[in-house]
Amino acid sequence: MELFEKCRRFTAPRRLMAAGYYAYFQPISSAQGPEVTVNGRQLIMVGSNNYLGLATHPRVKEAARRAIERYGTGCGGSRLLNGTLDLHEEVERKIARFKRRDAAILFSTGFQTNLGVLAALGGKGDLLVTDRWDHASIVDGCRLAFGETRRFRHNDMADLERALREGRGRGTLIAVDGVFSMEGDIANLPEIVRLARAYGARVMVDDAHATGVLGKGGRGTPEHFGIEKEVDLVVGTCSKALASVGGFVAGPARVIHYLKHQARSFIFSASLPAPCVAAIGAALDVIKDEPERRERLWENARFMKRELGALGFDTGASKTHIIPVILKDDRLAFRFWKLLREEGIFCNPAVSPAVPKGRALIRTSYMATHTPEHLDRILTAFRKVGKRLRVI
């Protein structure tokens, strides 16, 4: 096949566009609040990862403005060479304190964090063990590693033990999402930790969707379960509750030192710009100073989980602020999305490969800044569309 022939044959998105069911790359012309502007129309946003509403918080915006004035808009190089600012190191120390770890480093994106950490640690002869529903960045990080990868059935601890038993005697890292991004369920971290200790493995948790949200102090899944000291490495992104962009890994000082010099996606990437770094630091301060935001988020999430279920929707095993409406059929998911858009709701249809085949869904995610009026309008739209399409 000629190289570009695959591009010509890639027609699925164009067919969706022609039919009016294309749900992606929607241009938003406002900030990521509970309402957004799309093509001049106000929509209720129920598809954002701005969980605590900090992307528009005055303290976060002001910190970014001050950083631009002092440092400019870019660093002009990688962290290894000329791109490390005192601000990077200051915020890394703040992340380490927040996560109760020895040290931390900031990557330019959360995706690059998993690529770098897994490829650097998963050397020849090592074993990487992952959940089948882990994020694509974990999947791709394992592909880059020279070690072997084994995947276990989603949250299936017997299958995890099988993988560990078969790989016994090798350097082993279990890498799992803390909160799974499509369906909002939580990893069985206590049992994962128990099995890891029994088989001499290390544990890495990607807390992208849990940082700032789970746990008494918002420190994530390990705090939620009360096992912070039992988890070896915590990865996270700064593009969700931390209201910026970037990623981090926090853990033992010797491991962080190793990754600073071995993680290729850290060494060979341009440094995270100062305004983004300053926003991360300010967001961490707000998380500490305004716990009521997290409380409001959980109130909203519990309300929506209960009410969507009462309407008759299948919301799966979600226990968090990410609540799926599981429809199973891809075409139905796109039709559902389009009708919700007509009702003024911005949400996200998820089909394979973002979710397993036969498990298409509408992904909804909630924010601390959603009001009761917003939630009532969302439920009204779901009820109307669900009845029209005979889902409920």
Average pLDDT score over residue span 167-172? 94
Mark whether 207 and 69 lie in a shared domain: yes
Domain limits at 113?
57-289
Whether residue 2 is contained in a domain is answered as no
Residue 361: band (very low, low, confident or very high) from pLDDT cuts 50, 70, 90 = very high
Mark whether 279 and 343 lie in a shared domain: no
What's 31's domain CATH number?
Answer: 3.90.1150.10
Mark whether 114 and 143 lie in a shared domain: yes
pLDDT at 267: 97
Omega into 353 within 30° of 0, i.e. cis? yes
Average pLDDT score over residue span 225-248? 98
The gap from C-alpha 132 to its chain's centroid, in whole angstroms, comes to: 16
Whether residue 105 is contained in a domain is answered as yes
d(Cα 243, Cα 66) in Å, to the nearest integer? 16
d(Cα 288, Cα 133) in Å, to the nearest integer? 31
Q: Does residue 27 carry a pLDDT above 90?
A: yes
Mark whether 133 and 26 lie in a shared domain: no
pLDDT at 57: 98
Mark whether 63 and 205 lie in a shared domain: yes
Whether residue 51 is contained in a domain is answered as no
What's 124's domain CATH number?
Answer: 3.40.640.10
pLDDT per residue over 322-345, tens digit each? 999 999 999 999 999 999 999 999
Mark whether 276 and 137 lie in a shared domain: yes
Number of folded domains in the chain?
2
pLDDT at 342: 97
Residue given tokens 């049992």 in the structure block: 191
Average pLDDT score over residue span 61-86? 97
Mark whether 21 and 140 lie in a shared domain: no
Whether residue 278 is contained in a domain is answered as yes
pLDDT per residue over 172-213, tens digit each? 999 999 999 999 999 999 999 999 999 999 999 999 999 999
Mean pLDDT over each residue of the chain, to the nearest integer: 97
Q: Which residues contact 158 (CB under 8 A, 6 or more apart)?
A: none
Q: Single out the residue in 254, 289, 324 at which a domain terminates.
A: 289
Q: Does residue 359 carry a pLDDT above 90?
A: yes
pLDDT per residue over 306-320, tens digit each? 999 999 999 999 999
Q: Single out the residue in 263, 289, 315 at which a domain terminates.
A: 289
DSSP collapsed to 3 states, the chain = CCCCHHHHHCCHHHHHHHHCCCCCCCCECCCCCCEEEECCEEEEECCCCCCCCHHHCHHHHHHHHHHHHHHCCCCCCECCCCCCCHHHHHHHHHHHHHCCCCEEEEECCHHHHHHHHHHHHCCCCCEEEEECCCCHHHHHHHHHCCCEEEEECCCCHHHHHHHHHHCCCCCEEEEEECECCCCCCECCHHHHHHHHHHCCCEEEEECCCCCCCCCCCCCCHHHHHCCHHHCCEEEEECCCCCCCCCEEEEECHHHHHHHHHHCHHHHCCECCCHHHHHHHHHHHHHHHHCHHHHHHHHHHHHHHHHHHHHHCCCCCCCCCCEEEEEEECHHHHHHHHHHHHHCCEECEEECCCCCCCCCEEEEEECCCCCCHHHHHHHHHHHHHHHHHCCCC
Mark whether 249 and 111 lie in a shared domain: yes
Mark whether 141 and 193 lie in a shared domain: yes
Average pLDDT score over residue span 145-171? 96
Q: Single out the residue in 274, 289, 304 at which a domain terminates.
A: 289
Whether residue 139 is contained in a domain is answered as yes
pLDDT at 302: 98
Mark whether 245 and 184 lie in a shared domain: yes
Whether residue 383 is contained in a domain is answered as yes
Residue 1: band (very low, low, confident or very high) from pLDDT cuts 50, 70, 90 = confident
CA torsion angle 333 335 338 339 (round to 10)? -110
Mark whether 89 and 21 lie in a shared domain: no
Mark whether 138 and 155 lie in a shared domain: yes
Pair 274, 75: CB distance under 8 Å: yes
Pair 137, 145: CB distance under 8 Å: no
Residue 372 phi, psi (nearest 5) = -55, -35
Residue 48: band (very low, low, confident or very high) from pLDDT cuts 50, 70, 90 = very high
The gap from C-alpha 197 to its chain's centroid, in whole angstroms, comes to: 26
Residues tagged active-site? 181, 209, 240
| Tokens standing for residue 146 | 């020279």
Whether residue 20 is contained in a domain is answered as yes
d(Cα 111, Cα 236) in Å, to the nearest integer? 9
Whether residue 74 is contained in a domain is answered as yes
Residue 390: band (very low, low, confident or very high) from pLDDT cuts 50, 70, 90 = very high
pLDDT per residue over 98-107, tens digit each? 999 999 999 9
